[in-house]
């Protein structure tokens, strides 16, 4: 990869060198189908030039101004992102699943001057449009023009912007607001250098080429999706497909000759379970899986993704070792990574899609340094990282920045882990989530959640610290798989809890005794799914209220 000073210089070079590569995105239609929109790099380059000219001429966007984007991946989302970079503006991607209050807060705090909004989200912004002092203009895409608001086609310039301002690699390029598990999101300031270094490291590790077709379910309003499925394929001329058709991923992969699938653990878990169910549906595949699984590998790979398929890249949250090993045993390679919004985001990646190191999230990327720090209170090792992909800081929040970023450039990740003899990183869980028992043992909720999540009748589980008789206990909030329970005739809520408790007791034996849930009173059944971040991590702060549980 060449050395670039800005995201715009990368974009200009790549769209010229790989004009026929494409971005393709999907959206559900009214008849429950899926509409795919495709745009070549050459077409995107022309559109970006016209949109950049529009931003300058009609909306007065200048270098350093903030441009917000709210919507799902779409060619016009990509065009907005790169047009803003072309004129030297800072892009503020706002998560599509943010609440109205969160969207309003981010628009206020970021001082966004222009917002490009998907049609089905415009009412959320326009409800309080007059109160947004910095937001001077609102443009809608993806739907019919609404009275009083500018639609895409009505404002686009016929000329292309060419008078690009000089840009320094250290200048702010993206202001990415986290949708964290612990509450109020922070604006993470990422420079051109931060992102360009990470793109280079990722592509070098994954060996991306123009022959690749990367299929993704990851939104671009989250840094994992933005870097790995928008910037990386652009930089190396790989085609990219974003799909919301999760249930038909195999046909999407085969039909588009996808070579790499980028997803989150929730998707991979579902993919693995569905594959196992199909294998167990006939006697001869059951026999092969049990006695000669290697004979199934080529068949599974062909039916699941096609012979051209290379591997799955997983990130955004910890992947269950059971799922990773299971997919690899079936001939589907898995490259697991780890990172944070604050690190642009990827820090580590496994180098071998068929590694036998369970639970390892890989080696540090070429530009990343990692070390461990023993904490004072819980005697656990926190992972610290350093390198050119580390953020500039939190927007308008120097106090929070100083809490995580020291004067030498080391970032506290808030994750606990250990490093093996080969330099591979293994994670235990979030340091703030650790449950310290009176025995002195530390319980990482994520490890227990992996175990609970493997139980057939549990859809989602969140493990937390509970209290019973004045003592700290391991407790769990569970959202059952109500559909599968109903198939067994289990519908009454008390019976569901009793049934699941028996399952938990019998299927948690691989956990150390101190990590197990000890009483039916320590589990709570939910009627609705958990609220989650864009990468499907549970927003823990919404469910962390400690309750005293009585004995009896």
- Do residues 214 and 236 lie in contact, with contact meaning Cβ atoms separated by under 8 Å? no
Domain tally, the chain: 3
Q: Is the pLDDT of residue 496 over 80?
A: yes
On whether both 93 and 194 belong to a single domain, the answer is yes
On whether both 321 and 222 belong to a single domain, the answer is no
Residue 71 in any domain: the answer is: yes
Q: Is the pLDDT of residue 549 over 50?
A: no
On whether both 14 and 127 belong to a single domain, the answer is yes
On whether both 313 and 200 belong to a single domain, the answer is no
d(CA 298, CA 530): 37
* CATH code, domain carrying 299: 3.40.50.12780
Identify the domain containing residue 405 by its residue range.
264-431
pLDDT of residue 136: 62
pLDDT tens-place string over residues 457-479:
999 999 998 988 888 999 999 99
- Do residues 361 and 316 lie in contact, with contact meaning Cβ atoms separated by under 8 Å? no
Last residue of a domain, one of 384, 416, 431: 431
pLDDT of residue 33: 81
On whether both 66 and 127 belong to a single domain, the answer is yes
Among 348, 289, 299, CA closest to 319: 348
Residue 276 in any domain: the answer is: yes
On whether both 97 and 200 belong to a single domain, the answer is yes
pLDDT tens-place string over residues 439-457:
778 888 888 988 898 898 9
Q: Is the pLDDT of residue 277 over 80?
A: yes
Secondary structure (DSSP) of 447-480 = HHHHHHHTSTTEEEEEEEEEEETTEEEEEEEEEE
pLDDT of residue 181: 46
* CATH code, domain carrying 510: 3.30.300.30
Q: Is the pLDDT of residue 425 over 70?
A: yes
- Helix (H) / strand (E) element for 385: namely strand 381-386
On whether both 408 and 461 belong to a single domain, the answer is no
Mean of all residue pLDDT scores within the chain: 88
On whether both 47 and 115 belong to a single domain, the answer is yes
Q: Is the pLDDT of residue 27 over 90?
A: no
- Do residues 175 and 188 lie in contact, with contact meaning Cβ atoms separated by under 8 Å? yes
Residue 259 in any domain: the answer is: no
Residue 245 in any domain: the answer is: no
Residue 2 in any domain: the answer is: no
Residue 461 in any domain: the answer is: yes
pLDDT of residue 536: 77
Which burial class, exposed, middle or buried, applies to 183 when counting CB atoms under 10 A from its CB (0-12, 13-18, 19+)? exposed
Last residue of a domain, one of 200, 216, 236: 236
- Do residues 223 and 195 lie in contact, with contact meaning Cβ atoms separated by under 8 Å? no
Last residue of a domain, one of 197, 218, 236: 236
- Reported residue count of the chain is 552
Residue 257 in any domain: the answer is: no
pLDDT tens-place string over residues 191-202:
999 999 999 999
Residues whose CB falls within 8 Å of the CB of residue 116, separated by 6 or more in sequence, listed in order: 67, 68, 69, 70, 71, 76, 77, 80, 139, 141
On whether both 84 and 127 belong to a single domain, the answer is yes
pLDDT tens-place string over residues 382-401:
999 999 999 999 999 999 99
d(CA 408, CA 397): 19
Among 298, 299, 293, 312, CA closest to 253: 312
What is Dmax (Cα atoms) for the chain? 76
pLDDT of residue 321: 87
520-537 average pLDDT score: 88
On whether both 78 and 193 belong to a single domain, the answer is yes
Residue 249 in any domain: the answer is: no
Lowest mean pLDDT among 51-60, 143-152, 281-290, 332-341: 143-152
Lowest mean pLDDT among 66-75, 81-90, 383-392, 441-450: 441-450
Q: Please give the share of the chain, as a percent, with pLDDT higher than 90.
A: 58
On whether both 303 and 367 belong to a single domain, the answer is yes
Preceding peptide of 345 cis, ω within 30°:
yes
On whether both 479 and 420 belong to a single domain, the answer is no
């Amino acid at each position: 990869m060449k050395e670039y000073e800005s995201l715009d210089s990368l974009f200009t070079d790549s769209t010229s060198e790989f004009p026929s590569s494409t971005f393709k995105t999907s959206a559900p239609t009214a008849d429950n189908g899926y509409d795919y929109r495709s745009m070549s790099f050459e077409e995107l380059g022309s559109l970006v030039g016209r949109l950049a000219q529009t931003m300058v001429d009609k909306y007065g966007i200048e270098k350093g101004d903030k441009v917000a984007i709210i919507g799902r991946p779409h060619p016009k989302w990509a065009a907005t992102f790169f047009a803003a970079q072309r004129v030297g503006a800072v892009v503020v991607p706002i998560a599509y699943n943010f609440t109205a209050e969160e969207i309003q807060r981010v628009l206020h705090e970021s001082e966004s001057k222009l917002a490009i909004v998907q049609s089905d989200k415009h009412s959320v912004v326009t409800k309080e449009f007059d109160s947004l002092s910095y937001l001077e203009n609102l443009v809608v895409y993806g739907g019919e023009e609404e009275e009083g608001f500018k639609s895409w086609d009505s404002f686009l310039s016929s000329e292309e912007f060419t008078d690009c301002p000089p840009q320094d690699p250290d200048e702010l390029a993206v202001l990415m607001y986290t949708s964290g598990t612990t509450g109020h999101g922070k604006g993470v300031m990422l420079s051109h250098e931060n992102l360009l270094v990470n793109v280079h490291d990722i592509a070098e590790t994954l060996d991306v080429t123009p022959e690749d077709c990367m299929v993704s379910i990851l939104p671009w309003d989250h840094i994992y999706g933005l870097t790995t499925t928008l910037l990386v394929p652009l930089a190396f001329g790989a085609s990219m497909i974003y799909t919301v058709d999760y249930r038909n991923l195999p046909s999407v992969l085969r039909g588009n000759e996808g070579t790499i699938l980028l997803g989150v653990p929730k998707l991979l878990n579902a993919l693995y379970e569905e594959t196992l169910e199909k294998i167990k549906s006939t006697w001869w595949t059951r026999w092969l899986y049990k006695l000669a699984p290697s004979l199934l590998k080529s068949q599974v790979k062909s039916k699941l993704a096609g012979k051209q398929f290379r591997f799955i890249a997983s990130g955004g949250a910890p992947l269950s070792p059971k799922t990773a090993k299971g997919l690899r045993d079936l001939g589907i390679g898995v490259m697991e990574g780890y990172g944070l919004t604050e690190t642009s985001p990827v820090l580590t990646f496994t180098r071998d899609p068929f590694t036998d190191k369970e639970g390892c999230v890989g080696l540090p990327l070429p530009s990343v340094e990692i070390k461990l720090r023993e904490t004072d209170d819980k005697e656990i090792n926190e992972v610290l990282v350093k390198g050119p992909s580390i953020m500039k800081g939190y927007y308008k929040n120097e106090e929070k920045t100083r809490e995580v970023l020291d004067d030498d450039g080391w970032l506290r990740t808030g994750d606990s882990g250990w490093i093996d003899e080969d330099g591979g990183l293994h994670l235990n869980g979030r340091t703030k989530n650790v449950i310290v028992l009176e025995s002195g043992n530390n319980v990482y909720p994520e490890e227990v959640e992996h175990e609970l999540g493997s139980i057939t009748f549990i859809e989602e589980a969140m493990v937390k610290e509970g209290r019973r008789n004045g003592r700290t206990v391991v407790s769990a909030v569970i959202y059952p798989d109500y559909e599968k329970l109903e198939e067994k005739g289990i519908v009454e809520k008390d019976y569901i809890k009793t049934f699941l408790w028996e399952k938990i007791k019998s299927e948690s034996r691989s956990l150390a005794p101190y990590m197990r849930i000890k009483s039916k009173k320590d589990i709570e059944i939910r009627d609705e799914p958990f609220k989650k971040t864009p990468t499907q991590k549970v927003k823990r702060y919404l469910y962390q209220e400690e309750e005293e549980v009585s004995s009896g």
